[in-house]
Amino acid sequence: MADRYEREFRGLGGHESEKTDVDIARHGLADAVREFHDLAVRGAADVAHLLEATEKIRLIAQHLNDKVPTESYGSLVGMSDHVSGVEGRTSFLDRSPISGSMNPIAAPMRMSIEYPDPARGIEASVTGRVTYGLAYEGPPGCVHGGFVAAALDEVLGQTQSLTGEPGMTGELVVRYKAPTPLYVELVITGRVVKVDGRKIYTHATVMAGDTLCAESEALFISMNKEVFARLLRIRTREADNNG
C-alpha cells in the first residue's frame, strides 16, 4: 500500500534520485535570492549602499541571462515524463511559487506523507512545514492571509493527488482562526475527506504550535492525463511563440 502512494506522490513532491550539481546550485541560488528579498523588504541601508547593491544585482542578472537557455517561458522538468508515464528525476514542485526550493519567491515548504493504515484507523494525509519571514508580512508580525490561503491550496493539492486521480482546485474555502505569526514554523496538515466521482473533497489546518491559525475545505476536480497533456501542449506553443 505504501509503495502505491509513494509512486503517486513521486514527481509531485520529491526527487527520483540524488540531486545533480545543477540542482544543488539552483537551490543555492534561490536561497541567496530569498536572503536578498528579506534585506530588500527591510530596506534599512543608506542610499549609496542601496544603489550599489542595485547595480550589482543587475550585473548578476545580466550574467545569468547570457547563460540561461533562450526559452523565455522556462522548461518544465519532469512534466513531460509525468504525462508519458515515465518517472522523471526532478519534481516540477521544485519550481512552485508556493513551496519550490528552486523558486526564490517561495518560502520553501517541506512535505511528508502519512500513509494510510485502515487497521489502525489512519487516513492518508500530507503535512507541510514552512516558516515565513518579513517578505510575507500582512498585519504587523503576521503572515499575509493570501499566503496562508496559497499554502493551504498547495498542501491540499498534494493531498488530493493521493487518490490516484489528481485534479485542479475547484473551490477553496479558508477560515482564519487566529493571526498567523512570522518566524514560527507552521504545520499544515491536509487529508482527503471523500471522493464522489470526479470530485475530491479535502480538509486542512494550519497550526503554529498549539494554536489553530486557519483551516480550509477544498474541492478538487480530477483530470486525466489527456487534459494534462493538452495544457502542456498549450504551454509549449506559448513558449515557442515567446521564445
Digit-coded pLDDT (tens) for 39-94: 888 877 889 988 998 999 999 888 888 877 654 444 444 433 333 333 334 466 78
State residue 171 phi and psi, 5-degree precision. Answer: -155, 140
**What is the per-residue pLDDT for 90?**
47
What is the distance, to the nearest Å, from the Cα of residue 239 to the centroid of all Cα atoms in its chain?
22
* Ordered strands of the 211-222 beta sheet: 110-114, 125-130, 186-196, 199-208, 211-222, 167-176
**What's the CATH class of domain 2-232?**
alpha beta
**What is the per-residue pLDDT for 11?**
44
**What is the per-residue pLDDT for 24?**
87
Q: Which parts of the chain register pLDDT below 70?
A: 1-18, 69-92, 116, 118-122, 225, 228, 232, 235-243
**What is the per-residue pLDDT for 38?**
87
Q: Which three cell numbers stand for residue 194?
A: 471523500
**What is the per-residue pLDDT for 15?**
42
Whole-structure pTM value: 0.78
**What is the per-residue pLDDT for 121?**
61
**What is the per-residue pLDDT for 56?**
92
- Domain segments of the chain: what residues? 2-232
Bridge partners of 215, per DSSP, are: 175, 205
